């Protein structure tokens, strides 16, 4: 529940004008729930996690476009809210 509030706070901050790096969701650690909260479908979120498990940590946010079931519309929606930095 606490995690959900953190995500909601990040989205509110984004709408208020920009997302701080610290508020971004790390694609290499995100749970299915976090990814769904960002706007991915449950199926896409599972594909992100499967991609990570099979191919290793994401090296760039843009690598999301190589995930099965990902499309440009969803990518554009989430790109500013995710990171791969440790």
Partner 1 sequence: MKRLAVFSGGLLLVAVVTAAQQRAQLESIKTEWQNAYGAIIYTVLANVKNVSDAPIAYVKVKVQLFDKDGKLVAERAGYNAEAEILDTEGFGGSFEDKVKLVKPIAPGGTDLFRLSLDKADIGKPFRTAKVELVEVH
Residues that bind partner 1 (CB under 8 A): 51, 54-68, 79, 84-86
Nearer to partner 1, 10 or 58 (CB): 58
CA-to-CA distance for 49 and 32, rounded, in angstroms? 7
Min. distance of Cβ 28 from partner 1 in angstroms?
8
- Map residue 31 onto helix, strand or coil: coil
Nearer to partner 1, 51 or 74 (CB): 51
Min. distance of Cβ 63 from partner 1 in angstroms?
5
| Eight-state DSSP code of residue 46 | H
Question: H or E segment at 25?
Answer: strand 25-26
């Amino acid at each position: 529940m606490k995690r959900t509030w953190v995500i909601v706070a990040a989205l509110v901050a984004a709408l208020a004008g920009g997302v701080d790096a610290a508020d971004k969701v790390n694609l290499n650690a995100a749970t299915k729930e976090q990814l769904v909260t960002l706007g991915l479908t449950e199926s896409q979120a599972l594909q992100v996690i499967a991609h990570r498990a099979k191919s290793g940590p994401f090296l760039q946010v843009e690598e999301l476009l190589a995930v099965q079931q990902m499309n440009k519309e969803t990518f554009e929606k989430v790109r500013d809210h995710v990171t791969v930095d440790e």
